[in-house]
């Protein structure tokens, strides 16, 4: 089906709606059952008041069939048909006249469909292609996990659309028994379920000053889900790790061209062998009790609890045991903290999530009434569970109440019920400390690529 815009105009004296019977006949002709018989889908219609001009947005197989359907209108006046597109398609392709990107490596999800689904789910889109969108802060209110449709999305390339029936996970390199595991093989192995918070390393990048290039994440590039899959160590033990193996390399099937590389690359990350063998690392095939959504790595992804989500490789189809530190693009060039200290460049890999508290209620610039004020939010850390959250309401710090069970790798809800008596502007601030003693800085620690901003959040409100 192709999208068209149709414009029909007729003279005032020939307006069919002037005759109630002709008008009723027109409505019946445009009824959805009748339209469907002609192989046409009307997505929208509007009449310009007083101008005898009618517009349609129509899906049709081709212009010839559409003109045949619109013949009664052509008999009554003029008829213009224009090939059309949607805003999502135009933005995803990079302009009104640009062709839609095509994946040359593997079948991929239509960028327009992926973007439109994100918009309809209420995500905040930062880029339509590759699709990158964050969860709105109001959507963070609620339960332990984020519904799949509202879970933030981070991609570097097009979204692969894979057939699970023919999918295989290849395990090779320094192993005794190279493996080729189907989804059925994986699902027949011992499974494990864990509630894990994933956060993009660039979350909060827009708050750095001076500004930093890259995706302009605010504070919603974080979500929590219940992940089910096979413990990675089960697969490693089945393959048999050979002496000399130092790291486990994970390859996603997604890939493409990036700046600084003359040939296409794939998304690859590695873990040191000891971390990869931890019991909490999963090869996940389910999210919140459902098969992984396509945009979150269907049919298989890695979940590395506590680490920034770049380590949790999506669309995973290869695991290789290697004898050296991996130096791929998304490990050595990107996802590195980089500081200039006394004229010397210092670099450090992005690994554990930094501790952070986020105020979800009230929202920025909201007006609240004098008297009792409830402040709610969420906190998380990659190093350890949350020990405490403190909140200041324009004065000293107060301890918030932690809500629900304390999770090792999932966010912690909290709330503070206090009072505000004086009208005027007020700034709320919240800070978290984890059981490892890690806290939050007053200001973001600026680094060249804009990672790991966990500065204390400030939320201005007005008391009425």
Q: With bands split at pLDDT 50, 70 and 90, how would you rate the model's confidence at 59?
A: very high
CA distance 408 to 385: 5
Q: Domain ranges in the chain?
A: 2-83, 148-334, 356-463
The pLDDT, as a whole number, for residue 394 is 82
* Residue that the structure tokens 């964050």 belong to: 134
The per-residue pLDDT for 308 is 98
- What whole-number distance in Å separates Cα of residue 63 and Cα of residue 67? 6
pLDDT in tens, 25-36: 999 999 989 999
> What distance in Å separates the CA atoms of residue 23 and residue 410, rounded to the nearest whole number?
60
Question: Is 356-463 a CATH 2.60.40.420 domain?
Answer: no
| Burial class for 410, CB neighbours closer than 10 Å (0-12, 13-18, 19+) | buried
For residue range 326-357, what is the model confidence (pLDDT) as tens digits?
Answer: 999 999 999 999 999 988 999 999 999 999 99
164-207 pLDDT, tens digit each: 999 999 999 999 999 999 999 999 999 999 999 999 999 999 99
- In tens, the pLDDT along 229-257 reads 999 999 999 999 999 999 999 999 999 99
CB 276 within 8 A of CB 316: no
* Three-state secondary-structure class, residue 368: strand
Q: Is 306:382 a contact under the CB 8 Å cutoff?
A: yes
Q: 383 near 397, Cβ under 8 Å?
A: no
Instruction: Tell me the pairing of strands 2-9 and 78-83.
Output: antiparallel
pTM to 2 decimals? 0.92
- Flag whether pLDDT at 138 surpasses 90: no
> Under 8 Å CB-to-CB from 168, ≥6 apart: which residues?
180, 181, 182, 317
Fold that domain 2-83 belongs to in CATH: Alpha-Beta Plaits (3.30.70)
Question: What is the C-alpha separation between 114 and 296, in angstroms, rounded?
Answer: 12
pLDDT band at 142 (very low <50, low <70, confident <90, very high): low
Residue 454 has pLDDT above 70, yes or no: yes
Nearest one of 353, 358, 352 to 431, comparing CA atoms: 358
pLDDT tens across 256-305, in order?
A: 999 889 999 999 999 999 999 999 999 999 999 999 999 999 999 999 99
**Separation CA 348–CA 176 (nearest Å):** 33
3-state secondary structure of 97: coil
- Residue 408: both structure tokens together: 């090792």
The number of beta carbons lying within 10 Å of the beta carbon of residue 27 is 11
Answer yes or no: are the C-beta atoms of 11 and 52 closer than 8 Å: yes
Q: Read off the pLDDT of residues 69-117 as tens digits, 9 standing for 90 and up.
A: 999 999 889 999 999 999 999 999 999 988 888 887 789 999 999 999 9
Give the pLDDT score at 154: 98
Whether 261 and 329 have beta carbons less than 8 Å apart is answered as: yes
* pLDDT, tens digit (0-9, with 9 covering 90-100), for 380-395: 999 999 999 999 998 8
Length of the chain: 464
- Examine the pLDDT at 143 and tell me if it is beyond 80: no
DSSP state, residue 343: T
Mean pLDDT within 15-31: 91
The confidence score (pLDDT) of residue 424 equals 95
Contacts of 18 (CB under 8 A, 6+ apart): none
Domain 148-334 class in CATH: alpha beta
| Helix ranges restricted to H, 110-199 | 111-120, 183-187
pLDDT at 147 over 80: yes
- The mean predicted confidence, pLDDT, of the chain is 95
Q: Could you tell me the end-to-end alpha-carbon distance of the chain, in angstroms, rounded to an integer?
A: 54
pLDDT at position 462 over 70: yes
Query: Each residue of 352-380: pLDDT tens digit?
Result: 999 999 999 999 999 999 999 999 999 99
The per-residue pLDDT for 115 is: 95
Residue of 431, 316, 420, 403 whose CA lies nearest to 367: 420
């Amino acid at each position: 089906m192709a999208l068209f815009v149709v414009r029909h105009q007729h003279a005032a004296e020939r307006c069919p709606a002037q005759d109630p019977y002709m008008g009723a006949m027109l409505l019946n002709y445009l009824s959805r059952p009748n339209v469907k018989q002609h192989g046409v889908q009307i997505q929208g219609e509007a009449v310009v008041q007083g101008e005898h001009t009618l517009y349609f947005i129509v899906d049709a197989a081709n212009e010839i069939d559409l003109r045949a359907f619109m013949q009664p209108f052509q008999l009554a006046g003029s008829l213009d048909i224009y090939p059309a597109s949607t805003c999502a398609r135009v933005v995803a392709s990079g302009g009104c006249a640009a062709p839609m990107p095509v994946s040359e490596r593997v079948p991929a999800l239509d960028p327009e469909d992926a973007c439109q689904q994100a918009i309809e789910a209420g995500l905040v889109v930062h880029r339509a292609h590759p699709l990158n969108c964050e969860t709105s802060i109001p959507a963070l209110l609620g339960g332990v996990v984020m519904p799949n449709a509202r879970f933030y999305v981070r991609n570097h390339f097009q979204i692969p659309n894979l057939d699970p029936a023919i999918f295989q996970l290849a395990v090779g390199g320094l192993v005794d028994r190279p493996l080729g595991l189907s989804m059925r093989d994986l699902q027949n192995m011992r499974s494990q379920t864990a509630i894990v918070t994933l956060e993009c390393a660039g979350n909060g990048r827009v708050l750095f000053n001076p500004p930093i290039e890259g995706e302009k994440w605010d504070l919603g590039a974080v979500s929590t889900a219940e992940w089910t899959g096979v413990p990675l160590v089960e697969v490693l033990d089945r393959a048999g790790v050979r002496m000399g193996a130092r790291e486990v390399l994970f390859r996603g099937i997604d890939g493409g061209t990036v700046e600084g590389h003359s040939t296409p690359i794939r998304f690859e990350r590695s873990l040191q062998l000891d971390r990869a063998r931890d019991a909490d690392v999963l090869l996940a095939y389910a999210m919140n009790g459902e098969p992984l959504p396509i945009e979150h790595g269907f049919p298989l992804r890695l979940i590395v609890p506590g680490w920034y989500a770049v380590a949790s490789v999506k669309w995973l189809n290869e695991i290789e045991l290697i004898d050296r530190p991996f130096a791929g693009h998304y490990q050595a060039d990107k996802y590195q903290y980089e500081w200039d200290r006394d004229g010397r460049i210092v670099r450090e890999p992005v690994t554990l999530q930094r501790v952070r508290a986020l105020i979800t209620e009230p929202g920025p610039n909201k007006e609240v009434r004098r008297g009792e004020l409830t402040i709610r939010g969420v906190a998380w850390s990659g190093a350890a569970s949350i020990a405490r959250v403190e909140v200041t309401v324009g004065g000293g710090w107060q301890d918030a109440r932690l809500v629900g069970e304390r999770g090792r790798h999932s966010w912690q809800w909290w709330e503070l019920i206090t009072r505000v008596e004086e009208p005027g502007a007020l700034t709320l601030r919240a800070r978290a400390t984890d059981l490892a003693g890690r806290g939050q800085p007053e200001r973001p620690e600026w680094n060249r690529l804009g990672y790991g901003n966990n500065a204390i959040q400030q939320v201005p409100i007005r008391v009425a």
